[in-house]
Amino acid sequence: MSENLRHALATARLQAVDIAAALAVDPKTVTRWLKGRVPYPRHRWAIADFLQVDEADLWPDIPQHRRAISKDVQAVYAHRWAVPHNVWRRLFEGAAKEIGILGYSSLFLAEDTGMIRLLAARARAGVSVRILLGDPDSPETATRGTEEGIGPDVMRARIRNALTLCRPLLSVEGVEIRLHRTVLYNSLYRADNNLLVNVHAYGTPAAQAPVIHLRADEQGAAGTYLASFELVWTRSDGGADLHRIVNT
């Protein structure tokens, strides 16, 4: 029996089905974990994040319980959908200076009203919030939709939906949204020294592709991604086209 996991669930006032829903696994899998089966590392990390406890508190007998894979790489998630909602929230809540989002639509964030409010709150607290989404009228966006297998029209619609949902942020001082026309090799989500990289794979929707959690270091692995973000930002448009699309 995994008494530590049971205790953590009880403390959080959660049920096994809540863990199953958060990690997108079968409830029977969670039941097996509660009976003593040790989850795979990626699931242990996700459970610890979801319950806001240390992995070692849940499975103290596992020698290599540390999340950090290397100095730069803190964690790897097999799919973006496998990253617990709590990880995204804690990422942006922890920002003291800067938040950066680079994607095509990032609709999964835009659809979360609580996340939009959180971004607005961090901006009002003095955090610079920069959001880069794909220009729905660009050929690069159409190509990405085709490559993902959802089609260009669906990709355009997703971006327009995301922009509409992000409309409340346009009036918040400290938030700037721009449209990019680039071939996007990775989607990036930055909060100060933490960076989640949603890698893109040809023929694979972003939600199905892996996510790498990096500690941002100009001299380390994250430096390449940070430089990429800045390059796209300087080449993107935040003027009339954005307001035309949002207000259409």
Residue 65 is assigned to a structural domain of this protein:
no
Q: Which residues contact 216 (CB under 8 A, 6 or more apart)?
A: 190, 192, 193, 194, 195, 222, 223, 226
203: left (phi over 0), alpha (psi -120 to 50) or beta: left
One domain, residues 12 and 114: no
Task: Report pLDDT digits (tens) over 113-150.
Answer: 999 999 999 999 999 999 999 999 999 999 989 988 88
One domain, residues 39 and 80: no
Residue 196 is assigned to a structural domain of this protein:
yes
pLDDT-based confidence at residue 239 (cuts at 50, 70, 90): low
Average confidence (pLDDT) over 151-161: 92
Question: In this structure, is the dihedral angle defined by the CA atoms of residues 75, 78, 84 and 89, taken in order, positive or negative?
Answer: positive
Residue 70 is assigned to a structural domain of this protein:
no
Average confidence (pLDDT) over 13-27: 91
One domain, residues 39 and 93: no
Closest-CA residue to 202 (of 214, 186, 179): 186
Q: Which residue intervals of the chain are DSSP H helices?
A: 3-11, 16-23, 27-34, 41-51, 55-58, 85-93, 107-110, 113-124, 139-148, 152-165, 222-234, 240-246
Could you give the percent of the chain with pLDDT greater than 90? 50
Looking at residue 64, what is its pLDDT?
44
Average confidence (pLDDT) over 24-37: 91
The answer to whether residue 178 scores a pLDDT higher than 80 is yes
Looking at residue 65, what is its pLDDT?
41
pLDDT-based confidence at residue 218 (cuts at 50, 70, 90): low
Residue 231 is assigned to a structural domain of this protein:
yes
CATH of residue 170's domain is 3.30.870.10
One domain, residues 144 and 29: no
pLDDT-based confidence at residue 170 (cuts at 50, 70, 90): very high
Average confidence (pLDDT) over 177-190: 93
One domain, residues 222 and 99: yes
Average confidence (pLDDT) over 216-229: 80
pLDDT-based confidence at residue 40 (cuts at 50, 70, 90): confident
CATH of residue 42's domain is 1.10.260
Half-sphere exposure of 232 (CA within 13 A, CB side): 29
Task: Report pLDDT digits (tens) over 191-208.
Answer: 998 999 999 988 888 888
Q: What does the mean pLDDT of the chain come to?
A: 87
Q: Which residues contact 162 (CB under 8 A, 6 or more apart)?
A: 105, 106, 107, 110, 111, 133
Please state, as a whole number, how many other Cβ atoms lie within 10 Å of the Cβ of residue 105.
Answer: 26
One domain, residues 33 and 127: no
Residues of the domain holding 195: 75-246
Considering its fold, how many domains does the chain have in total? 2
One domain, residues 111 and 201: yes
Looking at residue 241, what is its pLDDT?
59
Domain boundary pick from 11, 30, 60: 60
The three-class DSSP label of residue 20 is helix
Average confidence (pLDDT) over 53-61: 77
One domain, residues 52 and 99: no
| Chain Cα centroid distance, residue 16 | 24
